[in-house]
Amino acid sequence: MEKRGISKLDLKRRNRMQILRVIRESGPISRVDVASALEITRAAVTIITNEMIEEGVLIEIGEAPVNAEKLQKGRRKILIDINVNSRFALGATVDEREVSIGLTNLNTEILDKASMTIEERTTSKDIINFIINTCNTMIENSALTKDKILGLGVGVVPSMWGKLKIFYKDGVLDFTNFIDKLSGGLDVQISCGNAVGLMALASNDFRVQNGYQTNTAFLHNGNQVNLAIVNKNELSNDYISYTSMIEKFIVCPNGRPFEGYPNGSVKAELSRSAMLSAITSIYSRDTTPVLYEITEGDKSRINTDSVFNALFRGDENVKNVVDDLISKYTVLINNLAISHFAKRIVLHNYHLNEKQFDYVKREMIRLVSEEIADRVVLSRLDGKNNFLGGCALIIQENFFTRGGMR
């Protein structure tokens, strides 16, 4: 009879992975509290964590602060945490406009970064060569040994999959061809994924707050509108590959048509081109005088800043269009908050400054409630930091999932 079971190595890796998860979510933390969270003995936790400290994966950071109301007898708890500088990650993200590349520690603190603008004449070979050459330069400049680098994580937005020969195979994204080309010039492990989900992970706050983990809805604005959901600190399987399905959501019943989509869909109403079309359709010297003046009569100069500048200077028709767009986004955000129990809705790649975002939030409060509007935040990843999504992937796969083992 064939015997099956978990190997000692797998058991060790799993225990270490669980300890790292607890520390990531609740740290700095004592061994006693780790044991309580995992419901295993303190002795077992001590043995495992001491080994991880010897390897440099964990560090002791001193005694826990005294709680005057609960004075404890004996020795105070010693807190442990992840040694964020024990390993390092390379990350890259390819979107419609830019390739961003960076090097970080385990806490995604940026040590180096670079970017390249994607133009009409930019080829897939140009993109691949830029990633290879930049990563090799960063490795050389960092003076890090190979064993210190977890590898390279690469995120590619859905609208760029075709250009880089990334396709579905048996319902799963196949990055084999892309990885093979990168591997020809890089001597590190490479992992790839949908950039939208990876950036959602990079923007996630893994700490447990008020006893629960915060669900996050991540909205990416580009040539497509994409959505990823982070549920209990993990990327929801439904949003690993098919992030653009949100474009079929209806935000305005019987609204604008778009072939292949229901009337009033996100694609028809809230895509980048749809929002620009809503402004340019009324653009003229007489109808939008302030916007016309700011852009000097040139439609190609219309952007987020020029539109909001016109709105703040009292261009009434511009204000009406912007308010209409915000109302449709409010419908979408309200539905995401309710259907996914999302406590945070992250807006990424919307290029809103503080004053503009404040206006959007005030309109949302007027339309729904302050409680829903307060869940909406701007992404901490701007264009040149999108590579943090790739870093998040390789850190998750090659550090946390492996229990910090090499």
Of the CATH numbers 1.10.1070.20, 3.30.420.40, 3.90.650.10, 1.20.120.160, which one belongs to the domain with range 216-379?
3.30.420.40
| Lookup result for tokens 């406590």 | 343
Euclidean distance between CA atoms 157 and 244, whole angstroms: 10
Q: According to the model, what pLDDT value does residue 6 have? A: 67
At 17 the pLDDT is 95
pLDDT at 273 over 60: yes
List all residues 6 or more positions away from 70 whose beta carbon is below 8 Å from its beta carbon: none
Question: Are the CB atoms for 234 and 212 separated by under 8 Å?
Answer: no
Is the distance from CB of 216 to CB of 230 less than 8 angstroms? yes
- Residues 6 or more apart whose CB falls under 8 angstroms from that of 284 comprise 292
Angle between helices 354-367 and 316-339 (to 10 degrees): 70
Look at strands 88-94 and 98-105 and give their pairing: antiparallel
Question: Which one is predicted more confidently, 213 or 81?
Answer: 81
Q: How confident is the model at residue 1 (pLDDT cuts 50, 70, 90)?
A: very low
| Confidence category of residue 205, pLDDT binned at 50, 70, 90 | confident
Q: Is the pLDDT of residue 351 over 70?
A: yes
Q: What is the three-class DSSP state of 293?
A: helix
Least confident of 14-23, 200-209, 256-265, 323-332: 200-209
In this structure, which CATH number among 3.30.420.40, 3.50.50.60, 3.40.50.2300, 3.30.70.20 belongs to the domain 88-202+385-400?
3.30.420.40
Whether residue 22 is predicted with pLDDT greater than 90 in this model: the reply is: yes
How many Å separate Cα 294 from the centre of its chain? 34
Residues in a beta bridge with 270: none
What's the mean per-residue pLDDT of the chain? 92
The first and second tokens of residue 323, run together, are: 């308010």
- Read off the tokens for 297: 């009569």
Order of strands across the sheet that contains 344-348: 234-235, 225-231, 216-221, 344-348, 376-378
The mean per-residue pLDDT over the stretch 295-320 comes to 97
Write down the pLDDT at residue 69: 47
CA 145 from chain centre, in angstroms, equals: 28
Pick from 231, 258, 255, 235: nearest CA to 247: 258
Residue with tokens 């602060």: 65
Lowest-confidence segment of 10-24, 69-83, 250-264 by average pLDDT: 69-83
Least confident of 1-10, 89-98, 202-211, 311-320: 1-10
Q: Which CATH number does 8-82 carry?
A: 1.10.10.10
Going by C-alpha positions, the residue among 318, 274, 321, 272 that lies closest to residue 295 is: 318
The pLDDT of 360-371, averaged and rounded, is 96
Edge-to-edge, what's the strand order for the sheet holding 58-63? 29-30, 78-82, 58-63
Domain definitions of the chain by residue range: 8-82, 88-202+385-400, 216-379
Provide CB contacts within 8 A for 326, sequence distance 6+. Answer: 360, 363, 364, 367
- Name every residue whose Cβ is closer than 8 Å to that of residue 61 and which is 6 or more positions away in sequence: 28, 79, 80, 81
According to the model, what pLDDT value does residue 68 have?
47
Which pLDDT tens digit goes with each residue over 239-252? 888 899 999 999 99
> Among candidates 108, 127, 104, which has minimal Cα distance to 116?
127
pLDDT at 65 over 90: no
pLDDT of 2 strictly over 90: no
Q: What percent of the chain clears pLDDT 70, i.e. is strictly above it?
A: 94
- Provide CB contacts within 8 A for 392, sequence distance 6+: 91, 108, 153, 198, 199, 201, 202
Query: Residue 45 — left, alpha, or beta (φ > 0 → left; ψ -120 to 50 → alpha)?
Result: alpha
Mean pLDDT value of segment 14-32: 93
Q: What is the pLDDT of residues 131-179, one digit of tens each?
A: 999 999 999 999 999 899 999 999 999 999 999 999 988 888 999 999 9
Bridge-based pairing of strands 149-156 and 190-194 is parallel
Average pLDDT over residues 7-17: 88
- Among 159-163, 358-362, 382-386, which is the least confidently predicted range? 382-386
Question: Could you read off the pLDDT of 98-128 as tens digits, one per residue?
Answer: 999 999 999 999 999 999 999 999 999 999 9
Contacts of 139 (CB under 8 A, 6+ apart): 90, 103, 149, 188
Least confident of 48-62, 133-147, 181-195, 210-224: 210-224
pLDDT of residue 298 exceeding 90: yes
Decide if pLDDT at 94 tops 70.
Answer: yes
Q: What is the DSSP string of 214-266?
A: PPEEEEEESSSEEEEEEETTEE-GGGSS-GGGGGG-BSSTT---BTTB-TTBH
Do 41 and 25 touch, CB atoms closer than 8 A? no
Domains 88-202+385-400 and 216-379 in one fold: yes
Q: What is the pLDDT of residue 345?
A: 96
